[in-house]
Amino acid sequence: MKRAPLEIADVIMITPHLIADSRGYFSEVFKAAWFNEHIADAVFLQDNQSLSAQAGTIRGLHFQMEPFAQGKLVRAIAGRLFDVAVDLRGGSPTYGKWVGVELSADNGKQLWIPPGFAHGFATLEPNSIIHYKVTAPYSAAHDRGIRWNDPAIGVEWPVSSEAALLSDKDRQQPFLGQSPYYFHYRSLKQEA
Ligand SMILES: Cc1cn([C@H]2C[C@H](O)[C@@H](COP(=O)(O)OP(=O)(O)O[C@H]3O[C@@H](C)C(=O)[C@@H](O)[C@H]3O)O2)c(=O)[nH]c1=O
């Protein structure tokens, strides 16, 4: 496996090694010992998968409050995604900044997004399937979101506002400035 830090230092792109032969390939897509040594000391408690039928579907930007804040290890197992992480850690030099990468079933790349970030993605092909491991279980009561196209964050989505397909919930998420409790990692912890 190879690791490559992105513009936000703790968000890491991972490229698993692929061993090809006449049948196809074999790849270790997750190995706890390697992950803990090279990426983060994390324990994954839940695996999630979702299918988005249409290209231009946007899910996000989502996170969970403490004590259910989630680190996420994200990959595409069908189709192509533009995957985005937004730094919400109070005191971080990259607070409010975003990073985006293309994850596809073909490129096999994975994105590690630590706790303290919001996550979202846009599908670039029909029937794209995302799979992600998370470090805390789902808790509806701790589930939060920020508006996908909040100008204060300025994610450059590869989908126009007119073409974007969103859930009702995501269409109405608050903007970054609206709810101060969101954005201090420390204050998220204090709220728990
Ligand atoms: C996230 C989640 C949802 N659900 C349920 C709630 C709801 O009935 C249904 C769909 O939920 P949502 O609309 O929140 O699904 P979705 O918009 O796909 O939410 C996901 O978006 C991406 C960007 C993330 O980063 C995830 O953490 C998660 O927030 O699934 C679970 O049962 N377990 C879970 O872990």
- Per-residue pLDDT tens for 56-100? 999 999 999 989 999 999 999 999 999 999 999 988 889 999 999
Distance from residue 20's CA to the centre of ligand 1 (Å): 34
Task: Give a three-class secondary structure readout of 95-136.
Answer: CCCEEEEEEECCCCCEEEECCCEEEEEEECCCCEEEEEEECC
CATH topology of domain 2-191: Jelly Rolls (2.60.120)
Q: Is the pTM of this model over 0.80?
A: yes
Distance from residue 61's CA to the centre of ligand 1 (Å): 11
DSSP letter for 189, please. Answer: H
Shortest CA distance to 98 belongs to which of 82, 118, 68, 115?
118
How many Cβ atoms sit within 10 Å of the Cβ of residue 140? 7
**pLDDT band for position 6 (cuts 50, 70, 90):** very high
DSSP letter for 55, please. Answer: T
**Angle formed at CA 7 by CA 5 and CA 13, multiple of 5 degrees:** 35
d(CA 110, CA 103): 7
In this prediction, residue 44 carries a pLDDT of 98
Query: 90 versus 153: which is more confidently predicted?
Result: 153
The answer to whether 183 and 152 have CB atoms below 8 angstroms apart is: no
**Residue 139, ligand 1, Cβ within 6 A:** no
Boundaries of every domain in the chain = 2-191
- Burial per residue of 67-90, b for 16 or more beta-carbon CB atoms within 10 angstroms, e otherwise: ebbbbbbbbbebbbbbbbbbbbbe
Tens digits of per-residue pLDDT, 107-141? 999 999 999 999 999 999 999 999 999 999 999 99
The answer to whether 117 and 73 have CB atoms below 8 angstroms apart is: no
- The torsion angles phi and psi of 145, rounded to 5 degrees, stand at -150, 165
Mean pLDDT of 165-176: 96
Atom of ligand 1 nearest to the CA of 138: 35
Q: Percent of the chain scored above 90 by pLDDT?
A: 86
